[in-house]
Amino acid sequence: MADLSKMGAGAEPGSIESRSRQAFSRGRSVFPDGTTRVTVERDPIPRYIDHGEGAYLIDVDGRRFLDLNSNFTTLIHGHAFPPVVEAVTRQIQSGACFANPTELEIELAELLRGRIPRIDKIRFVSTGTEAVMFAIKAARAFTGRSAIAKFEGAYHGAYDWVEVSQAAGPQNWGAAERPSSVAYYHGMPQAVLDETLVLPFNDAATTAKRVEENASSLAAIIVDPMPSRAGLLWPKAEFLEALHNVCRANDILIIADEVLNLRQGFSGASPRYGLEPDVLAIGKIIGGGLPIGAVGGRADVMAVFDAGAGRPLVPQGGTFSANPISIAAGLAAMRALDKKAFDRLEALGDRLRERLNAAISKHDASFCVTGAASLLRIHPKSVPPETYRQACLSPGESEIMAALARHFTGNGILFPRDAASCLSTPMNRADIDFVADVFEAFLAAGELPQTVVQ
């Protein structure tokens, strides 16, 4: 529950006396840009964290914030969730990692298979990136084809093929009916670009046409049912239907990337939207806040990992795969997430989206909200975007989001500017109303740049 007396007190990171500023100048001497993740927000410098408590974070200058980031949606129970702390403490006292399997990993695998449709078999890895990578390798081995298709603007981690067009913009994204394959980093091999077909999310006709044209080389299409970095876009039913039809007709596998969206419900996100994947990549919440990923799916596809009869088609190892600390933390977190917990989170999410929308209507502001369950994004646009191109921000809109994020932090809320906001189980109605009130105060202040007030 918010201790409002402490919210927002203390030095801001940019101020000369702040400890964040001191930490950042030390960080800059050892890290290329002062940090070790490109995703760390900085305005103008990063905020260094001292500790977390439930739904709250306390920075090194003693300022307290309601955390809507939760390490990029991972911490569904917030910070230092007691069952996770206990499970990790117990496990580390019996050993951090072994070259042998543990019974714990079977328990977590059984729990996940019991909840998530279309997972017959599963393998654990250490990150969502690895889960995506092995899902793609499995599809290649199973189909004997090497190319993949992905949706423009969708984020799937740091494996080269899925990085293609992750940050495409108007200057290089090409025609809407034939999106270009755009390099994400300087020096990305042309071979990767040539083997990655980029599709427009929610455009059924173009997706079907482009896949048909390239069908013989495609192993799989990777799709996040609600791509978050691309705008947390609601998937259209006819789009998913077209995707199924073209994949089934051409023996192309569907990989659902639910690394983030698994938190939409007890059984994840795919069933909610009628998506029927052959393989799934999952992560984040299943590790209780520790590093984890998993690839699961149809038994015949997952058989590519089977080393029972010698070298498998896809050898998958990993020093830290299924490490018992992550598995123990994940079990504690997932056991606490029963259907009731998901329903409660969803009700809080619905309330927050309703209150934000009511404030937007009241002030006749050019904002909108997308998302579902415990996830949401605020866009500086009057109509909810349906595609990555519609969700992309102009320089003026980026300024508006920067101003909004500053307003939120100034009032004690950490609000991810370019990513999905999320709720966690320690939050309550008062926290939700607090976020809505702070947003409404931003609209009421009426200091929006001209591009917003239309």
Ligand X SMILES: Cc1ncc(COP(=O)(O)O)c(C=O)c1O
Q: Which stretch binds ligand X (CB under 6 A): 149-157, 192-200, 266-274, 332-340?
A: 149-157
User: Beta strands 368-370 and 375-379: pairing type?
Assistant: antiparallel
User: Between 423 and 448, whose beta carbon lies closer to ligand X?
Assistant: 423
CB of 437 to ligand X, least distance (A): 29
User: Between 255 and 332, whose beta carbon lies closer to ligand X?
Assistant: 255
Among 60, 75, 122, 132, binds ligand X (CB under 6 A): 132
User: Between 91 and 228, whose beta carbon lies closer to ligand X?
Assistant: 228
Does the footprint of ligand X cover residue 259 (CB under 6 A)? yes
Cα separation of 373 and 331, whole Å? 22
CB of 260 to ligand X, least distance (A): 4
Cα separation of 16 and 355, whole Å? 37
User: Between 27 and 287, whose beta carbon lies closer to ligand X?
Assistant: 287
| Among 183, 180, 212, 216, CA closest to 197 | 180
Radius of gyration over alpha carbons of the chain, in Å?
22
Residue ranges in 215-338 assigned as alpha helix (H): 237-249, 270-273, 299-302, 324-335
Among 12, 224, 386, 440, binds ligand X (CB under 6 A): 224
Site size toward ligand X, by CB under 6 A: 15
Per the structure block, which two tokens stand in for 117? 């449709």
Residue 231: how many other CB atoms lie within 10 Å: 27
Per the structure block, which two tokens stand in for 116? 């998530």
User: Beta strands 253-258 and 218-223: pairing type?
Assistant: parallel
Does the footprint of ligand X cover residue 330 (CB under 6 A)? no
User: Between 12 and 105, whose beta carbon lies closer to ligand X?
Assistant: 105
Q: Which stretch binds ligand X (CB under 6 A): 9-17, 128-136, 368-376, 441-449?
A: 128-136
Does the footprint of ligand X cover residue 72 (CB under 6 A)? yes
Per the structure block, which two tokens stand in for 20? 């964040």
Among 260, 262, 290, 448, binds ligand X (CB under 6 A): 260
Q: Helix, strand, coil shares of the chain as percentages rounded to 5?
A: 40, 15, 45
CB 369 within 8 A of CB 357: yes
CB of 283 to ligand X, least distance (A): 5
Does the footprint of ligand X cover residue 235 (CB under 6 A)? no
Q: Which stretch binds ligand X (CB under 6 A): 60-68, 237-245, 255-263, 357-365?
A: 255-263
Among 179, 231, 235, 283, binds ligand X (CB under 6 A): 283
- Sign of the dihedral through C-alpha 333, 337, 342, 344: negative
CB 147 within 8 A of CB 196: yes
User: Between 208 and 280, whose beta carbon lies closer to ligand X?
Assistant: 280
CB 75 within 8 A of CB 290: no
Among 64, 137, 156, 381, binds ligand X (CB under 6 A): 156
Cα separation of 430 and 428, whole Å? 5
Cα separation of 344 and 333, whole Å? 16
CB of 205 to ligand X, least distance (A): 25
CB of 442 to ligand X, least distance (A): 27
Does the footprint of ligand X cover residue 157 (CB under 6 A)? yes
User: Between 72 and 273, whose beta carbon lies closer to ligand X?
Assistant: 72
Q: Which residues bind ligand X (CB under 6 A)?
A: 72, 127-129, 132, 155-157, 224, 228, 257, 259-260, 283, 293
